[in-house]
Amino acid sequence: MKQHKLMGALAFSGALALALAGCAADTGGNGDNGDDTVETNAADYNPQPRENLQVGGEVRFPINEVPEQLNPFHGDGSADTARVAAWYMPQILLQEADGTPYKHDAYLDAWDIETVDGNTQITFTFTDEAHWNDGTDMDWTAIDATWKANRSTDEGFTPNATDGYKAIASVEEGDTPKTAIVTFDGEFAWPEMPFLTGIIHPALAEDPDTFNTAMIDNPHPEWGAGPYTIDDFDANADYISYVPNPEWWGDEPLLENVSFQGMEASAAINAFKADEIDSVGANTKDRLEQVKDMEDVTIYRATQTASTLLEVDAEKPQFEDVKVREAFFKAVNIDQQKEIAWNGLGYEEEPAGSLTLFPFQPGYTNALEEAGWEYNPEAANALLDEAGWTAGEDGIREKDGEKLSVVYPIFSDDPTQEALAKALQAQEKEVGIDVQIDVRPSTDFSNDYNTKNWDIASLRFTSSDPFGAAWFCQLYCMDMGLNLSGVQNEEMDERIHSEVESLPTADEQTAAAMSLESEIFQEWGLIPLYNGPTISAVKTGLANLTPEPYVGLDGFGVQPVENVGWEK
């Protein structure tokens, strides 16, 4: 997957698989307090060689939720799904903090990219020892299964992203079953991209129903492979734990036990102070104040490879008219939102005008600004007048006897999230839009988002790699589970294919994607707000943090989970 993934109301994922995440206080962890700017590094995760670390000990992580959908390749999966999966599913490719991929030597003897007869070709050679927990050999059939389950939605599979996979013409067995030959249809601009987010057991891709439903509230550890396997899983308690895997053939995992417990924001910060968990997100002034002076605690600050955004559901009657959607977004004071979000964090950044690239990446342009967005309540009022919505006695606009009232759920009890929601509510009230804030448990996020139980959504798209434009379709094509604004259409799908994906080089695709993104923003289904820092409080001595994709202390990095451990 870039996959982009949703993070609870916070998300970007993958290879650029994007992952979905909800905007919460980041209980799982994605400086000094005060008004002065505090240095924030691209990555800050306490990297340590294995010889500096002890064997033994446990680590207890909080998480927004242990999601219902535990298949990390499924469209309903979130960034939390990817976190849970990383600890017991194969990591055949890893990434440096800047996103440079390299092979995991326990799984792969070789990973070669070349051009053969005008077609990009990747050859994977698995190690002799590599196998799945159920004893199935890990070989070319895993690459084949991953491709077939993710290449299209036409066969009944519901993948998180088809980008990259759909450009593959064939997957074939090489000289031995341990070798997979992946051939693209022509030269492919992003050869590093496919399979960065992993591979799946062939049994999971046996048919669409298995792929779509088998891992709902069932992690299927027998389909896993790696240094850890599942020890305990309780969907009702939102809990999962791992122990060293007796089937593992690589470097010894350093920890005796790893666990994730679903927690609300306030519960997580209290659990950290009570020594019940070993790390916690500290992305707000209140949370940072509570932990920054604790003994034996280290504060880590990194640039977040995620975009916080606002999205409306254009399929709801209140937002069917594009003028209403444009008015809604032009009433949003992004600068005020950032001031609230970063109050006391000493953080600054360039405007986040794209969901394709971050401001620090080559080729970035402010597509939102080019689309004509500005904070302009006067223009918003004029648009609503044109759309036929008139102010009632209470100032809320009405049309045909219906109030312009919309539901905005927030999946957190964190005071900063409440303040952000109330600020948005006040901004929209200025133009006559009634925003009803509905506070819900963080554990409801994935289900509520995927079933569109909302009119407005505040999200984070979290990115697993730096290949932005490679995942453009995952962001903006129809039938992808990340962007549920409902403004996508077949004409734009075709333009994405013909004007972006068909171009021969990464630079050309990036330039075309940035240009097209400004047009897409003019449909007013979603807009980026900011990227922000990721700040975590961690028990001192825990090293090689955030080994999973879509978690940001190590930038775009994906570290081997067997190297997470405590310093000697």
Q: What is the DSSP letter of 34?
A: B
pLDDT of residue 17: 46
Which residue matches tokens 């890893």? 94
Residue 154 CB neighbours (<10 A): 8
Residue segments in the chain with a per-residue pLDDT below the cut of 50: 1-2, 6-17, 25, 28-35
Q: Which two tokens stand for residue 544?
A: 């090689």
For the chain, domain boundaries:
1-568
| Integer CA distances (angstroms), 199 to 71, 73, 193, 205, in order | 11, 9, 13, 11
Let me know: does 455 contact 312? Beta carbons within 8 Å: yes
Tell which residue, 257, 221, 245, 104, has the closest CA to residue 564: 257
pLDDT of residue 62: 96
What's the fold here for domain 1-568? Dipeptide-binding Protein; domain 3 (3.10.105)
Let me know: does 299 contact 291? Beta carbons within 8 Å: yes
Query: Could you give the CA distance from residue 535 to residue 541 in angstroms, rounded to a whole number?
Result: 17
H or E stretch at 511: helix 506-521
Let me know: does 309 contact 23? Beta carbons within 8 Å: no
Q: Which two tokens stand for residue 281?
A: 């997100």
Q: What are phi and psi of 548, to 5 degrees?
A: -85, 155
Which residue matches tokens 């989970």? 561
- State which amino acid sits at residue 489: N
Tell which residue, 11, 3, 197, has the closest CA to residue 94: 197
pLDDT of residue 4: 56
pLDDT of residue 79: 86
Instruction: For residue range 394-443, list pLDDT tens digits in order.
Output: 999 999 999 999 999 999 888 999 999 999 999 999 999 999 999 999 88
Exposed e or buried b per residue across 185-220, where buried means at least 16 C-beta atoms within 10 angstroms of its C-beta: eeebbbbbbbbbbbbbbbbbbeeeebbbebbeeebb
Instruction: For residue range 48-96, list pLDDT tens digits in order.
Output: 999 999 999 999 999 999 999 999 999 999 889 999 999 999 999 999 9
Q: Give the SS3 label for residue 317.
A: helix
